[in-house]
Amino acid sequence: MRRKKFIIGGVALVTLAGLTGGASASPRGTKPKPWEVRVALPAGQGNPMIANGVGVGHGVTTYTASGTGPAGSNTSAPAGTPERYIGFPGGNLPPGVTVTEAQGLNALEQLGANLEAVGLTPRDVISMRVYLANPPGEDSADFAGWNRAYRQFYANVDLTTHKVVKVPLGTAPPADPMYANRARPSRVALEVANLPVAGWLVEVEVVAAYR
């Protein structure tokens, strides 16, 4: 499998097709072709978490998913509590898994269903915005727990070796991810005072590109 890459100023530029097969790039300052999604990746990293940015040609059709949070799967927990939105059976967290991490996994599963309903998958996501609320009693949002959840669904295939990268769930030894995915969307994660649904600690919105 041939993979081309153009590096300028510490940034590797590849096309969306390049994340699933061969890749190409254009010199700095040129606009993406009408049908092109151009992903700017940190140079020298085979497994970056996110893209530096994404350029989209004017002929690319995109889908913007509204903010998606976790489903209230754990009916044994009181309504409006963070534990209500844990997707593990009975609300039982595996060792080291935080409530934010569990809600992140749940929210990303709901997001996958949202995308599937319009003919897309998490592999088509090019941009992501994440909102995190503080767990009760904590002074800050659980970014580490969120990032572990994120790696279960995104950025878990090495772009150099094309091999699936093992990732941790809580404090368990790294294992195969829940969903193997090369996609490196541009991403921002924000700590917010509260979210629209009582008990949510995570809300995610994405933009995905039709191929």
Q: For 100-111, what is each residue's pLDDT tens digit?
A: 999 999 999 999
At 11 the pLDDT is 46
At 104 the pLDDT is 98
At 145 the pLDDT is 98
At 16 the pLDDT is 56
At 29 the pLDDT is 72
- Write down all domains in the chain, each with its CATH number in brackets: 61-209 (3.30.1330.40)
Give the N- to C-terminal CA distance of the chain in Å, as an integer: 20
pTM: 0.89
Counting other chains too, the contacts that 28-33 makes at CB distance below 8 Å and 24 or more residues apart are 31/55, 31/57, 32/56, 32/57, 32/60, 33/57, 33/59
Identify the segments of the chain with pLDDT beneath 50: 1-11, 18-26
List Cβ neighbours of 73 (8 Å cut-off, separation of 6 or more).
84, 85, 86, 87, 106
Residue whose structure tokens are 């039982």? 92
Greatest alpha-carbon pair distance for the chain in Å reads: 56
